[in-house]
A and B are shown apart, each in its own frame.
Chain A
């Protein structure tokens, strides 16, 4: 481990002031940052700890419209155990179970999980499918952006060096059904080869709205809009699922790695997209 300084500001504004041109890099739970520093791929001269401002930004609440508002400093384990989260977005609660492990969830924060920009993480596709948005704070104030706009490339986000995620908003949608399937090709607790999240509403036997997002197999978590288009207005029968699965093969650019060849991953996307849609349709509001 290299030598560095550690700053522990007491307010978000103070923290933001230490970032950007001031050379500081933010650290919340620290799991990912420590991993990168230990292997030497990340050697900041100054770390800016967000821990002392945690309590202000780790609230889980429902706003007046019933939307779920999650403070960015909330540890994942609290989100996992929150009744509000389970009520508004049960798919988030379900995804937590296989998200890394209990020790990581105890310390890793929602904001860090998203700002890391690693496509293998679980919540990005889930939050994209749920049409969640972010409140981002910077010296010039706050802005809001959809989660799907956050990811620009491998470990690259749309956040400026002096911006921090303050809050995540998951819109209330009581009629929505959702599912998240994570698939590992080596050991069960490996990074996934593929994560597929689906959120849809039904009108009788027909799909009314649909958002489908993919992670892990692609450079960034992203929507599969062609799949959504094929689903909307159509019945959710096997024939449609077959064609939507086929549609995935062309849309997502996937790469070969130790978890599988690109060709194989495309087959997995085909199969698991259909399975995720089926699970969303057939499951309880999960």
Chain B
């Protein structure tokens, strides 16, 4: 099925929904209205941790035009256990007894006019007993402030079955990995290095804010949501309601961005509960500001130590990673585990210890964000790797190549690497940077430097995707799958796969937007899993349909290899243009869970994602301000289904990571988030782009992937941050260990180095 013979797969068709998007007619859920719908506006906590003494809703309820005011107790009256979450059932639909983070939903006003609801929500008065709060992940380990008194594991996912949390601590999950004998390696090492790195809290800021409409009536719940996880939302809402999944319908559409913000349950449970109580359709539509209170990216602290021998071989590595999960676990425990086992980097190291902790704090919850913890790890291990090379006097690329992981060797988790082109990816970056050519280091107050970095990620496993491919009597084809197209181009990729298998033109294929009444199960659109998992399911379902068409051709007496057009075949079989041929398939790759004691697994992932970056910077030594002259990203994405779409995934991921590297940070002062808006939380614009940006992928093939493909949505994030830090170090000799990399941080480091530290008065 692979190779150069494909007619549709491997070609750069424009996105199928392009016309709808450029005419403004794309059907985002945010545009949706339902008859007799009420608008919900949320009253949120102004503190980070406290006990709710009382909620006074009288003034809000008395406002003309208000339909109803609803609190957590009202929700509890209809849903006795109103807690949700993919790892722990720890998140109340509306706060009960306590608030655990700034901006937590406490009460809701429902009104037909959103302006009335908004004004009334400001009139709700809540009396709190403020409690000590903890914001830092390292402090949370020993803090007396305990975010959750009781922990309730969800038991949903096969890979998190051992999850229990530790009572009377803030630890949601601890993951440990032992590979070889790290203590021995350190005892015998020629050189030992230790550094600590930190990353900050950031937010996805999808431009279509999170939104859900719910219509719950007569034992039927219909949910329209801008979600990446329609199947999971159905599962979780049916659990909350105690109803069969067939009574819950979750429908989505094209998403105005997701990036991990819209996975699992976000505003759907609230919308469902409100509609259940009000007996009316309800729309919960967040503002950009409210998204910052809903889900974020994990800040972390990473202490990394390396043992290196006299030949520049890394013989041992010890990693301690603390993940700041915020007030609710969301999918943080999986970030801790899945990212945890790659914390030692893409190197062939015989002896590795990893300890990775998911911690509760009083920050807004953290979950999945494009890379699932990997960019935070690469930041540390690739900065650390560069420091080692520099201190040993080795070329940073040579040092990496001396230690790089190769196919056939075991990764730290114990799984043998297959189809992981680490060295080729690194070479791809070095080549595009002209690494072996002389480099102009600048002069005077303008100094230049360059750096590289490489990271990798395992796929989320074990997960299942299901697809249905139906062939109509006129030869057109419909693909039913619950993969959500949020801009990554999955509809186009799935259509290309179906078109290839069935040998029909792309414009005869329609991909149905996820609707759990119609489209079959999919674990979720996340973690760059769709091309591989759903791509497989669609390929198998299309193959099933093709086999049935062949059987039908035999049945009606067409000779083998007949090229009779499909409409003719249907007429021969049904006597007129009638009938449907349906192919269906489930796909789930093999998986072996890690041993709890050692963290070892013979089969931890069906494929590896690899991304490297190279950066050239120019630093103004008078201000610390720097410009990125060139940013190169090269990834191993197997064989692309649609090369141009893949390239924009790589560049888009790199641009997003550039924001996290340079400008984006959520600032909490005195327990309050001070910058929940694009005015004060700065995402990159046109003038923040590097002068030159190059993105590409190497020639590769994932042998077990559909048409040789694998995931591509996150790999472009991996190397960006440390490549820039490494380039800055090369330019001016200072090392930034905490993200974001600001001009002020560089300026302060330069002054420190010059022996006249900047003094704050």
Contact = CB atoms under 8 A, between A and B. Distances in A.
Interface of A: 1-3, 40, 183, 185-191, 256, 258, 260-264, 267-268, 271
B758 interface: yes
Contacts of A260: 744
A184 to B, nearest CB: 9
A188 B759 CA distance: 27
Nearest to A1: B115
Secondary structure call for the B interface: loop
B623 A268 contact: yes
B667 interface: yes
B310 interface: no
B744 A188 contact: no
Nearest to B683: A187
Given A2-B119, A258-B674, A267 B663 contact: no
A267 B743 contact: no
29 contacts: A1-B115, A1-B118, A2-B115, A3-B115, A40-B122, A183-B623, A185-B625, A185-B742, A185-B743, A185-B744, A186-B662, A186-B663, A187-B659, A187-B683, A187-B684, A187-B688, A188-B685, A188-B686, A189-B687, A190-B682, A256-B760, A258-B667, A258-B674, A261-B760, A262-B761, A263-B758, A263-B760, A264-B747, A264-B758
B675 interface: yes
Contacts of A40: 122
Contact of B680 (A185, A258, A261, A271): A258
Interface string B743-761: 1100110000000001111
Contact of A267 (B118, B119, B687, B747): B747
B680 A189 contact: no
B622 interface: yes
A271 B758 CA distance: 15
4 A-B pairs with the lowest CB-CB distances in the bound complex, closest first: A188-B687, A187-B682, A186-B682, A186-B663
A167 to B, nearest CB: 30
Given A1-B115, A268-B623, A187 B759 contact: no
Interface in B298-330: none
Contacts of A258: 667, 674-675, 680
Nearest to B667: A258
Given A1-B118, A185-B744, A258-B675, 10 more contacts: A186-B742, A187-B683, A188-B686, A188-B687, A189-B687, A190-B663, A256-B760, A260-B744, A262-B760, A267-B623
Contacts of B759: 263
Nearest to A38: B287
Given A1-B115, A185-B744, A267 B758 contact: yes
Given A3-B115, A185-B742, A271 B688 contact: no
Interface of B: 115, 118-119, 122, 622-623, 625, 659, 662-663, 667, 674-675, 679-680, 682-688, 742-744, 747-748, 758-761
Nearest to B686: A188
Nearest to B689: A188
A189 B682 CA distance: 9
Nearest to A40: B122
Contacts of A3: 115, 119
B748 A264 contact: yes
A185 B742 CA distance: 8
Nearest to A185: B743
A28 B621 CA distance: 43
B60 to A, nearest CB: 14
Nearest to A189: B685
Nearest to A270: B622
A185 B665 CA distance: 13
A187 B659 CA distance: 8
B758 A187 contact: no
Nearest to A2: B119
Contacts of B663: 186-187, 190
B675 A261 contact: no
Contacts of B688: 187-188
Nearest to A264: B744
Nearest to A35: B679
Contacts of B685: 187-189
B477 to A, nearest CB: 43
Contacts of B680: 258
Given A188-B687, A189-B687, A264-B748, A271 B622 contact: yes
A140 to B, nearest CB: 37
Contacts of B675: 258
B622 to A, nearest CB: 5
A40 to B, nearest CB: 7
Contacts of B761: 262-263
- The residue among A3, A190, A262, A263 with the most chain B CB atoms within 10 A of its own CB is A263
A266 B686 CA distance: 28
Nearest to B669: A258
B337 to A, nearest CB: 34
Contacts of B662: 186-187
A111 to B, nearest CB: 23
A186 B681 CA distance: 9
Contact of B744 (A189, A190, A261, A271): A261
B385 to A, nearest CB: 28
Contacts of B747: 264, 267
Nearest to B114: A1
B743 to A, nearest CB: 6
Contacts of B118: 1
A40 B122 CA distance: 9
A146 B301 CA distance: 53
B656 to A, nearest CB: 13
Nearest to B687: A188
A246 B629 CA distance: 31
Contacts of A1: 115, 118
A2 B118 CA distance: 8
Contacts of A188: 685-688
Nearest to B116: A3
A142 B686 CA distance: 44
Contacts of A262: 760-761
Contacts of B622: 271
A263 B757 CA distance: 11
Nearest to B742: A185
A94 B688 CA distance: 20
Contact of B623 (A186, A187, A189, A271): A271
Nearest to A191: B679
- The residue among A186, A258, A262 with the most chain B CB atoms within 10 A of its own CB is A186
A1 to B, nearest CB: 5
- The residue among B682, B684, B686 with the most chain A CB atoms within 10 A of its own CB is B682
B436 to A, nearest CB: 33
- The residue among A187, A258, A261, A267 with the most chain B CB atoms within 10 A of its own CB is A187
Contacts of A268: 623
B167 to A, nearest CB: 38
Nearest to A261: B760
Contacts of A185: 625, 742-744
B10 to A, nearest CB: 37
A108 to B, nearest CB: 15
